[in-house]
Amino acid sequence: MVQMRATKLIHELKGLPYRQCLERLKLPTLKYHRIRGDMIEIYKMLTGIYDRDSCIEFKFVTYPSTDTRGNKLKIYQDHVHHNLRKYFFANRVIYIWNSLPDSVIETNSVNML
């Protein structure tokens, strides 16, 4: 709501829909910012940038072959039976992380994500 409101403060963009304002200003959506931030956090956890003792411990999927879709560092996801837990960080990032290609996972910089 803050970003939407801020785009309406610009006089030239006042009557335009929110999506068009973002396109004119070359801004990504807040949903994109949230997902990117989550991917950066999980990257830091898995690559050891954060202290391992203070991070969530993820279980990795082990396949007999490496020709699966996504990347080599797929995280195992337990089934969530309660609506409350499905929005926890560990549960909401796994599907997106597992769908990223190896070229993104094996990057040397957080800025590449």
At 98, which helix (H) or strand (E)?
helix 94-99
Domain boundaries along the sequence of the chain: 2-112
Q: Per residue in 65-112, pLDDT tens?
A: 555 566 777 877 766 666 766 677 877 888 888 888 888 888 887 776
At 3, which helix (H) or strand (E)?
helix 2-8
The per-residue pLDDT for 92 is 82
The per-residue pLDDT for 82 is 67
Rounded to 10 degrees, the C-alpha dihedral 38/99/105/88 comes to: 30
Q: Per residue in 43-66, pLDDT tens?
A: 888 888 888 777 777 777 766 555
What pTM does this model have?
0.69
pLDDT surpasses 80 at 39: yes
* Nearby residues of 34 by Cβ (< 8 Å), 6 or more positions away: none
Q: Which residue has the higher pLDDT, 39 or 108?
A: 39
Query: Which of these, 74, 62, 64, 66, lies nearest to 99 by C-alpha position?
Result: 74
Rounded Cα–Cα distance for residues 108 and 101 (Å): 14
Six token digits for residue 8: 């309406």
